[in-house]
Amino acid sequence: MKIALVQQNYHIGNFEYNTQKIISGIVRAREGGADLAVFSELCICGYPPRDFLEFEDFINRCYQSIDEIRSHTAGIAVIVGSPARNPIREGKDLFNAGWFLHEKEVKAVVHKTCLPTYDVFDENRYFEPAYNWKLIPFKGKRIALTICEDIWNLGNNPMYRVCPMDQLLPQQPDLMINISASPFDYDHEEDRRAVVRENVLKYKIPMFYCNAVGSQTEIVFDGGSVAYDAEANLIHRMKVFEEDFFIVDTEKKYPAIPSSVPTATEFTYKADQPYLPHSSFGEQNHPPSTIHLPPSPDPEQIIPYLTRTDNISEIYEAILLGIRDYFSKMGFSRAILGSSGGIDSAVVLALACRALGRDNVRAVAMPSGYSSSHSVADAVQLSKNLGNPFDIIPIQPVYESFLSTLKPFFKDLPFSLAEENIQSRSRGNLLMSLANKFGYILLNTSNKSELATGYGTLYGDMAGGLSVLGDVYKMQVYALAGYINREKEIIPANILQKAPSAELRPDQKDSDSLPEYDLLDKILYLYIEKRKGPKEIVAMGMDEALVSRILKLVNSNEYKRNQFCPIIRVSCKAFGVGRRMPIVGKYLS
């Protein structure tokens, strides 16, 4: 059997676009001699559709798209992902389903069993888990079709009571096909391939895995679809961060591709990542898993890990895809941002110019009386290097006007945070005014370290339509700058070398308010990504008072992050929809 893996970028709720894209993939697969074309999870409507699933019209349009697609399945079978109605009164009204179409008919509908409801996933909110499990007969083969999380139920601490493949195995499947919408993060890609391989090792049959690609608001899907033979050899890996197409012949012997994924007996998952294999070996009395959680990370290895070249290169590509898709899918084309001469705005500007084209990105320097001369000069040089439009708008007259208006109310109270934030909000107001006048989208330049600790001004430097670096720690921002400069100097050396500063008061430095970033980022990573408590972090050698102070900053500034714009997600625990904390909570604050 020849199977085409069709890795495509869909648009949530854009049924005409998605349908035509799928049909074009079917045509290509048929012309290539494929017997079966496989597409990704919920490709009909795009993933994640969220509360669109509550609209009957939305579901009707999914069914209409399937009707149109099945009319193109003469001489070729097709697997697509779409919601399916649940005819049983009890339970949710929908299934997350894989539809098997052939000869213009719906031959089978397979329902997803393991419904992830953690981090960015909300599937139990909308879908009912499968009631039964059946193979799909086709071309003399018995296909075990599963959907994304269905293959992640491995390990010693299972999240789900039923493992679909364990239910299907007694029916003697010949091959496994998994359709997925598995998001990117810099911890995840190697684990994903390892999980696919573990399934092959366990069930002794080949696996063909088709993943989504593209960005949907904050979530980036990186593709990387794979095929493994029955001996668990990787025989093909598709491109990451772009669409791809490949036809694999199940009767052909392919040379194994070298893989960094460890063998089953060596394989260890990264600690404390809730979406990693929570799986059981079902109720079939299989031997215990060889998967074990490693000890807590060595704090001294955190920064080298966060900033290692392969992580940074993937983050770079994920952010580019996130910017491009956000703009193209929203119908936007031009961006604006404040260019301060600092590292964060420099990296955002370089990324935006690469993603959208330099002529479509406008940078604005807005010096105040506290801005250093080199900040403006550095910002100007950066835009000269990039070749993007650039303006300078001094904010001192605006700032003084605010002070004059407020003087009767401020009286003679000393200079404080209020005056600092007036400057930041003046800049935000100017940028939003230009955005409104000329149709720009304002790109926010805050990094994850700042957002975590509340080091930012609501309605000022926290304004924006999209956060580019909100899931990137400060040390990673520096590493991204180095990656951007890997071939030639784009970001001026002075921007990389000077001490970070908001420049809202005389001689201000970030280190006046925060610990040095290499120390701060370690503690933040342990708390946010690894969910370590204060005692655990202190036991790793961190200063107790410092840990208490930082964790208090994180938790007491939830109200700021709750008003923040969408953040391009690149880690396993980003601020936004995947991290849900109470604003008025007292824990550690």
Question: Is 440 inside a domain boundary?
Answer: yes
> Do 444 and 408 contact (CB within 8 A), yes or no?
no
pLDDT of residue 282: 29
Domain final residue, candidates 249, 275, 308 = 249
In this structure, the answer to whether residues 199 and 313 fall within a common structural domain is no
In this structure, the answer to whether residues 216 and 331 fall within a common structural domain is no
pLDDT of residue 436: 97
Mapped onto helix, strand or coil, the DSSP state of residue 116 is coil
Mapped onto helix, strand or coil, the DSSP state of residue 340 is coil
Please check the confidence at residue 293 and state whether its pLDDT lies above 60: no
Residue 443, H or E segment? strand 441-444
Q: What percent of the chain has pLDDT over 90?
A: 86
pLDDT of residue 170: 97
In this structure, the answer to whether residues 226 and 320 fall within a common structural domain is no
Q: Which of 148, 163, 353, 565 is catalytic?
A: 148
In this structure, the answer to whether residues 43 and 141 fall within a common structural domain is yes
Question: DSSP alpha helices (H): ranges in 256-413?
Answer: 299-306, 309-330, 343-356, 373-386, 396-410
CATH code of 363's domain: 3.40.50.620
pLDDT of residue 260: 62
pLDDT of residue 277: 31
> Do 157 and 278 contact (CB within 8 A), yes or no?
yes
Dihedral (C-alpha) 322, 213, 46, 123: value to the nearest 10 degrees?
-90
Cα distance between the two ends of the chain: 59
Candidate from 248-252, 260-264, 511-515 with smallest mean pLDDT: 260-264
Six-digit token string for 385: 């290097």
pLDDT of residue 502: 65
Name the pLDDT band for 156 (thresholds 50, 70, 90): confident
Q: Which of 21, 112, 560, 573 is catalytic?
A: 112
In this structure, the answer to whether residues 312 and 423 fall within a common structural domain is yes
Task: Cis check for the bond before 297: say yes or no (omega within 30 of 0).
Answer: no
pLDDT of residue 371: 73
**Strand-pair category, 361-365 with 390-392:** parallel
Nearest CA among 506, 504, 541, 545 for reference residue 526: 541
Give tens-digit pLDDT for 303-319: 999 999 999 999 999 99
pLDDT of residue 190: 80
Please check the confidence at residue 378 and state whether its pLDDT lies above 60: yes
pLDDT of residue 139: 97
Full domain range(s) for residue 368: 300-561
Question: Is 586 inside a domain boundary?
Answer: no
**Measured distance CA(400)–CA(60) in Å, rounded:** 58
Please check the confidence at residue 529 and state whether its pLDDT lies above 90: yes
In this structure, the answer to whether residues 203 and 344 fall within a common structural domain is no
Question: Is 232 inside a domain boundary?
Answer: yes
pLDDT of residue 285: 34
**C-alpha pair distances (Å), 309 with each of 251, 470, 479:** 38, 20, 8
**Measured distance CA(577)–CA(82) in Å, rounded:** 23
Give tens-digit pLDDT for 475-506: 999 999 999 999 999 999 999 998 877 666 67
Rounded to 5 degrees, φ, ψ at 348 are -60, -45
Rounded to 5 degrees, φ, ψ at 23 are -60, -40
Mean per-residue pLDDT of the chain: 92
Q: Which of 41, 123, 149, 218 is catalytic?
A: 41
Please check the confidence at residue 173 and state whether its pLDDT lies above 80: yes
In this structure, the answer to whether residues 238 and 138 fall within a common structural domain is yes
Mapped onto helix, strand or coil, the DSSP state of residue 132 is coil
Amino acid occupying residue 554 = V
Name the pLDDT band for 452 (thresholds 50, 70, 90): very high
Question: Is 131 inside a domain boundary?
Answer: yes
Q: Which residue has the higher pLDDT, 62 or 513?
A: 62
Give tens-digit pLDDT for 386-399: 999 999 999 999 99
**Averaged over 425-431, what is the pLDDT?**
97
pLDDT of residue 296: 59
Question: Is 585 inside a domain boundary?
Answer: no
Q: Which residue has the higher pLDDT, 368 or 334?
A: 334
Residue 164, H or E segment? helix 164-168
**Measured distance CA(572)–CA(529) in Å, rounded:** 7
In this structure, the answer to whether residues 430 and 526 fall within a common structural domain is yes
Q: Is 41 a catalytic residue?
A: yes
pLDDT of residue 214: 98
**Measured distance CA(228)–CA(254) in Å, rounded:** 10
CATH code of 64's domain: 3.60.110.10
Residues 6+ apart with CB under 8 A from 516: none
**C-alpha pair distances (Å), 212 with each of 11, 125, 177, 208, 215:** 11, 21, 14, 14, 9
**Measured distance CA(567)–CA(244) in Å, rounded:** 26
Question: Is 581 inside a domain boundary?
Answer: no
Please check the confidence at residue 13 and state whether its pLDDT lies above 90: yes
Please check the confidence at residue 284 and state whether its pLDDT lies above 50: no
Amino acid occupying residue 503 = E
pLDDT of residue 272: 34
Structural domains in the chain (count)? 2
Q: Is 112 a catalytic residue?
A: yes
